[in-house]
RNA sequence: GGUCUCAUCGUCUAACGGUUAGGACACCAGGUUUUCAUCCUGGCAAUCGGAGUUCGAUUCUCCGUGAGAUCACCA
């Protein structure tokens, strides 16, 4: 029974943007830390200088921040085990490597690239898997840091437990003398993450399935170092919408920040990404973030890969938008108003927002849905000609109906209720069906393909605007 | 090719070895005095194949098949 505090980490390499796969790994590690008062650590694994992408580290920080996946220790805020950037921890890896050399578990790799290549070729020719340890030198030179340092492996069968996949096992032939330190002085991921996780007292390693094949080699390193390994949890892949491949940048994996810019709520992204491979066993689909933190458990994570379905994401975003209070939603849509709303008052905008809240799938929809509330729409008579019922009316009849509407609405108090009353009376006066009368008025005041309920729309537009637009429509005929 | 992993509606998924295999997305059809959306009702749709264990397998075992991952001085 361990009483130690749970410490999980997300350890991305700064080689690109944050896509959903990376976010999910971070998210689940964050859930595990947050549901137990543990700590969530962010560590930058920048040991491959060649692949490093400028600005990527800032981008990762920005993406996590935008989603509210907060860390307790990391490159930007420090912590008790700083630094949290691997390129700044070279001395630490060197010291741990020296320990292995001292106990005879690591040695300098004396071969040139061509020699190594020849070994590989011959293994391939014999249809055998290449194992470096079969060529392990008898008397390797002392390691001076200019050649790779390799683990002197101790091949043996391994079995271990994975919180998601269950009990796993492998045979000795997968263990090899893998590289610990590269000739450029940087450690490999294989070595560095083990050292760092140990130094930083990480209790759970939550990572993608691509690492599972290397796991036995990692276990061999833990053994050589004589340290206990953390709890392992392997996440299934997220696959691209088409095909069966793991979702990668080339398959159209989008930057999570792009989803936010497109009007998806952070809580939607969290809920959706979590639902890709996890559920709480009930029929609940929509979760708040605190609910997910409370209910998440690694043993209910799916073993097989999941596909990213944008339609479902869109639906889920609508659900979360509807869950928001008007004030909260108002605060979130600040960047999504149409240009025409620039000078509109907060009161007016809130009124309009309240009308369209149920209609938004993404915040981006706001602009096209509300433009006519803030600016004079351009009449488009093809909308009337294109309407099955309205196209049957003569221009004179249209004019008459609109004029009747003007007369009645002039007398209305112009609250939504009063307007509805007026509209109902108008149906009797004109003897028309709602499908004709209401459609006509709706188009004449909005010239939009769709709009909220007619009485609400008219009320928010205001009597003056409504009458003005109706008159404009009459005289245009 | 070696090694490892996985396998329920088109998609995300539920189901102490006993259920008419459930829910959600999508799709289709209706309903809520116009439209679009919301909301409600209904419909379509799945246990990869074959053995075995068992009174009884989606569930356990084995063999196939399919899919994925990995075999770098990348992570």
**pLDDT tens column, A54-108:** 999 999 999 999 999 999 999 999 999 999 999 999 999 999 999 999 999 999 9
pLDDT at A245 over 70: no
Strand B atom within 7 Å of A415 CB = no
Range of weakest confidence among A30-34, A377-381, A390-394:
A390-394
Residue A294 CA distance to nucleotide B17 C1' (Å) = 31
Three-state SS across chain A?
CCCCCCEEEECCCCCCCCEHHHHHHHHHHHHHHHCCCCEEEECECCCCCCCCCCCHHHHHHHHHHHHCCCCCEECCCECCCCCCEHHHCHHHHHHHHHHHHHCCCEEECCCCHHHHHHHHHHHHHCCCCCCHHHHCCCCCCCCCCCCCEEECCCCCCEEEEECCCEEEEECHHHCCCCEEECCCCCECHHHHHHHHHHHCCCCEEEEEHHHHHHHHHHHHHHHHHCCCCCEEEEECCEECCCCCCECCHHHCCCEHHHHHHCCCCHHHHHHHHHHCCECCCCCCCCCCHHHHHHHCCHHHECCCCEECCHHHHHHHHHHHHHHCCHHHHHHHCHHHCCHHHCCCCHHHHHHHHHHHHHHCCCCCHHHHHHHHHHCCCCCCCHHHHCCCCHHHCCHHHHHHHHHHHHHHHHHCCCCHHHHHHHHHHHHHHHCCCHHHHHHHHHHHHHCCCCCCCHHHHHHHHCHHHHHHHHHHHHHHC
ipTM for the predicted complex comes to 0.95
Residue A363 CA distance to nucleotide B25 C1' (Å) = 20
Strand B atom within 7 Å of A127 CB = yes
Q: Could you give all domains of chain A from N- to C-terminal order, each with its CATH number?
A: 1-77+236-323 (3.40.50.620), 100-181 (3.90.800.10), 334-374 (no CATH), 376-477 (1.10.10.350)
Q: What is the pTM (predicted TM-score) of this model?
A: 0.93
- What would the mean pLDDT of A450-476 be, rounded to a whole number? 92
pLDDT at A250 over 80: no
Nucleotides of strand B lying closer than 7 angstroms to a protein CB: 1-8, 10-15, 22-26, 33-39, 67-75
**pLDDT tens column, A200-219:** 999 999 999 999 999 999 99
Q: Is A249 in the active site? A: yes
Strand B atom within 7 Å of A243 CB = yes
Residue A117 CA distance to nucleotide B72 C1' (Å) = 12
């Amino acid at each position: 029974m361990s009483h130690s505090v749970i410490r999980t980490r997300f350890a991305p390499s700064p080689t690109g943007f944050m896509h959903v796969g990376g976010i999910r790994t971070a998210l689940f590690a964050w859930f595990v830390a947050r549901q137990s008062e543990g700590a969530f650590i962010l560590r930058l694994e920048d040991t491959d200088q060649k692949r490093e992408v400028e600005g990527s580290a800032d981008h990762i920080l920005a993406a996590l921040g935008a989603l509210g996946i907060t860390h307790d220790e990391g490159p930007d805020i420090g912590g008790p085990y700083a630094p949290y950037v691997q390129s700044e921890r070279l001395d630490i890896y060197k010291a741990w490597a020296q320990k292995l050399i001292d106990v005879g578990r690591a040695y300098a790799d004396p071969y040139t690239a061509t020699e190594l290549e020849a070994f590989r070729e011959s293994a391939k020719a014999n249809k055998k898997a290449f194992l470096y340890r079969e060529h392990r030198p008898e008397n390797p030179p002392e390691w001076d840091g200019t050649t790779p340092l390799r683990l002197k492996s101790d091949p043996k069968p391994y079995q271990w437990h994975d919180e998601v996949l269950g009990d796993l096992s492998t045979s000795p032939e997968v263990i090899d003398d893998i590289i610990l330190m590269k000739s450029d002085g940087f450690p490999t991921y294989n070595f560095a993450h083990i050292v760092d996780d140990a130094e930083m007292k990480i209790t759970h390693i939550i990572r993608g399935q691509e690492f599972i094949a290397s796991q036995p080699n990692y276990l061999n390193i833990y053994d050589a170092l004589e340290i206990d390994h953390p709890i392992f949890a392997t996440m299934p892949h997220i696959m691209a919408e088409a095909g069966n491949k793991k979702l990668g940048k080339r398959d159209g994996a989008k930057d999570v920040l792009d989803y936010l810019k497109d009007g998806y709520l952070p809580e939607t992204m969290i809920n959706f990404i979590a639902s890709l491979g996890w559920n709480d066993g009930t029929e609940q689909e929509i979760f708040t973030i605190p609910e997910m933190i409370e209910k998440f458990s690694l043993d209910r994570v799916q073993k097989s890969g999941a596909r990213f379905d944008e339609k479902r994401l869109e639906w889920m975003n609508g659900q979360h938008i509807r869950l928001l209070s008007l004030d909260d939603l108002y605060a979130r849509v600040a960047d999504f108003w149409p240009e025409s709303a620039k000078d509109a008052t907060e009161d007016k905008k809130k009124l309009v927002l309240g009308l369209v809240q149920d209609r938004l799938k993404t915040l981006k929809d706001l602009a096209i849905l509300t433009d006519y509330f803030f600016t004079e729409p351009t009449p488009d008579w093809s909308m009337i000609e294109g309407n099955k019922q309205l196209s049957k009316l003569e221009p004179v009849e249209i004019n008459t109906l609109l004029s009747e509407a003007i007369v009645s609405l002039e007398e209305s108090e112009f609250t939504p209720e009063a307007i509805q009353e007026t509209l109902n009376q108008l149906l009797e006066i004109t003897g028309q069906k709602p499908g004709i009368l209401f459609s006509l008025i709706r188009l004449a005041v909005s010239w939009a393909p769709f709009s909220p309920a007619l009485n609400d729309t008219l009320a928010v537009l205001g009597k003056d605007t409504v009458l003005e637009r109706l008159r404009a429509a009459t005289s245009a005929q």
